[in-house]
Amino acid sequence: MAEPLKVGLAGLGTVGTAVVHLLQQGRDKLIARCGRPIEIAALSARSRGKKRGIDLKKFRWVADPVALARDPAIDVLVEVIGGAGDPARRAVETALRAGKPVVTANKALLARHGDQLAALAERHRVALNFEASVAGGIPIIKTLREGLNGSSFTRIYGILNGTCNYILSRMEQDRLAFADCLRNAQALGYAEADPSFDVEGHDTAQKLAILASLAFGTKVDPDAIYVEGISSITLADLDAAAELGYRVKLLGVAVRTEAGIEQRVHPTMVPKESAIAQVMGVTNAVTVDAEGLAPITLVGPGAGGMATASAVVSDLADIARGVCSPPFGRPADRMTAVRKAPMQRHEGGYYIRLLARDRPGSAATIARRLAQQQISIESIVQRHEVPPRGNGQSERSGEPVPVILITYATTEDAVRKALAAVRRDRVISGRPQVIRIEKN
């Protein structure tokens, strides 16, 4: 049998320990598929004494992940420490400079330094594989880089954060408020103690930056992404969406437009019958639109030790077979700077929920301000809250009246200008809620 591929594993948390289990359980299958064993030669993590459910005595321990990266006894580094800084970054760079391929699950590192690391891997003629960094167990990186590498992509969008999709699903199914669902997600271990990175859309943005680069051949640039999270979404929005034939999802969307590449993360209304609308709970999904091809949607587990480890091991299997693809599907010097389409020029339908002051002329003023920006209304729902009979109040209580508008395609700029004018006119209370609509 051919020589084993010797792995240095840096990081023994959720993903790292699952990689150890999967390599042990799948040993024979991997030999059959790759023609050689894949074996762990050495491990590294912060604390040697921690209980991890694996027999550490079987493996050599290297305290410093950077030393592990240059260790002559390893052929490949698996980096599952996380974070855009050191020691993850230095370990990855050290391995590549030493001519060792790298497998990583680290979206933060790739979103920040992806093009530079791709160039380094290319210079040293080694693989840099990162299937696990986006949508965990869903093989979307390979799909873009290899499976569809003859295609011309027009749009890629998806549910890339299981925590947000879990919260939105629970809100809808169990009629709970955002804060209750967030607490629930934290209790189940789906959300961090500080959930802002997930719920404010930044996790999705890092993943979208990687996908956009693969799809459009641009440098990885998370700063080119417009980001909005889900914390302002209410049950009233979900109910209104359902009534109008939509469901609300936090989507990451990258689209090729005439103005450049539009990259955005925000709560989005998607048609209820679309494939992406069916995806509930912590599950992830990615839809790819390419010229001459009906949309392709991949659905599956976006996180969790075993799902993520399956992507890591698949990347290792490629290396064991000698496969070395350019990390972002093209030579690093062919990755172009992102021509960023400004968000103001985004075109699409909008859901707008306003609290109109209950006084004569409010509705006419709102309609006039929208018309001034050439915004046409597809549907309008005005909800008068009718107090229970016999309480002595008139039917119109003087409270602001929720007004829900769905617009035909318009621009972000027009919507922002119209709503700013409506606020200046003082015909609404509070801030308008705006949710963009994504058609399939």
Identify the helix (H) or strand (E) that includes residue 364. helix 362-372
Work out the end-to-end distance of the chain between its first and last CA atoms, rounded to an integer number of angstroms: 50
Please identify which residue in 26, 82, 326, 387 interacts with ligand NAP, judged by CB under 6 A. 82
The stretch among 13-21, 318-326, 364-372, 391-399 that binds ligand NAP (CB under 6 A) is 13-21
Query: Would you give the DSSP letter of residue 281?
Result: T
Q: Provide the pairing of β-strand 293-301 with 401-407.
A: unpaired
Catalytic residue among 207, 249, 272, 417: 207
- Binding of residue 329 to ligand NAP (CB under 6 A): no
Beta strands in 190-280 (DSSP E): 226-227, 246-257, 260-271
- Binding of residue 281 to ligand NAP (CB under 6 A): no
Torsion 396-397-400-403 (CA) sign:
negative
Residue 383 Cβ, how far from ligand NAP at the closest point, in Å? 41
Residue 387 Cβ, how far from ligand NAP at the closest point, in Å? 48
Please identify which residue in 8, 114, 136, 348 interacts with ligand NAP, judged by CB under 6 A. 136
- Binding of residue 303 to ligand NAP (CB under 6 A): yes
- Binding of residue 81 to ligand NAP (CB under 6 A): yes
Q: How many CA atoms lie within 13 A of 194 on its CB side?
A: 3
Rounded to the nearest 5°, which phi and psi values hold at 185?
A: -65, -35
Please identify which residue in 13, 295, 300, 402 interacts with ligand NAP, judged by CB under 6 A. 13
What is the rounded distance in angstroms from the CA atom of residue 327 to the CA atom of residue 127? 7
- Give 310's contacts (C-beta < 8 A, 6+ positions apart): 22, 137
Q: Which is nearer to ligand NAP, 30 or 80 (CB)?
A: 80
The stretch among 9-17, 22-30, 110-118, 400-408 that binds ligand NAP (CB under 6 A) is 9-17
Q: Which is nearer to ligand NAP, 51 or 125 (CB)?
A: 51
What is the rounded distance in angstroms from the CA atom of residue 124 to the CA atom of residue 106? 20
- Binding of residue 87 to ligand NAP (CB under 6 A): yes
Which residue's C-beta sits nearest to ligand NAP? Answer: 13
CA dihedral 409, 414, 419, 421 (to 10 degrees): -140
What is the rounded distance in angstroms from the CA atom of residue 71 to the CA atom of residue 75? 9
- Within residues 36-55, the interface with ligand NAP by CB under 6 A covers 44-47, 50
DSSP conformation letters of 411-434: EHHHHHHHHHHHHHTT-EEEEEEE
- Within residues 227-256, the interface with ligand NAP by CB under 6 A covers none
Q: Which is nearer to ligand NAP, 14 or 397 (CB)?
A: 14
Beta strands in 357-396 (DSSP E): 377-382
Please count the residues of this chain forming the interface with ligand NAP, following the rule CB under 6 A: 24
What is the rounded distance in angstroms from the CA atom of residue 245 to the CA atom of residue 402? 19
Helix, strand, coil percentages (3-state) for the chain, rounded to 5, are 40, 25, 35
Are the CB atoms for 277 and 247 separated by under 8 Å?
A: yes
- Binding of residue 304 to ligand NAP (CB under 6 A): yes
- Binding of residue 107 to ligand NAP (CB under 6 A): yes
The stretch among 74-82, 168-176, 280-288, 344-352 that binds ligand NAP (CB under 6 A) is 74-82
Q: Which is nearer to ligand NAP, 53 or 390 (CB)?
A: 53
Q: Which is nearer to ligand NAP, 106 or 165 (CB)?
A: 106
- Give 53's contacts (C-beta < 8 A, 6+ positions apart): 17
Q: Which is nearer to ligand NAP, 238 or 309 (CB)?
A: 309
The stretch among 168-176, 222-230, 301-309, 356-364 that binds ligand NAP (CB under 6 A) is 301-309
Residue 258 Cβ, how far from ligand NAP at the closest point, in Å? 35
Q: Reduced to 3 states, what is the DSSP secondary structure of residue 350?
A: strand
Active-site residue, 57 included: no
- Binding of residue 217 to ligand NAP (CB under 6 A): no
Identify the helix (H) or strand (E) that includes residue 5. strand 5-10
- Binding of residue 188 to ligand NAP (CB under 6 A): no
Please identify which residue in 9, 23, 41, 65 interacts with ligand NAP, judged by CB under 6 A. 65
Please identify which residue in 8, 16, 139, 327 interacts with ligand NAP, judged by CB under 6 A. 16
Torsion 402-410-201-313 (CA) sign:
positive
Going residue by residue from 360 to 379, which x/- string records binding to ligand NAP, judged by CB under 6 A? Answer: --------------------
- Binding of residue 80 to ligand NAP (CB under 6 A): yes
For ligand NAP, the binding residues (CB under 6 A) are 11-16, 44-47, 50, 65, 80-82, 87, 105-107, 132, 136, 303-304, 308
Task: Write out the catalytic residue numbers.
Answer: 207
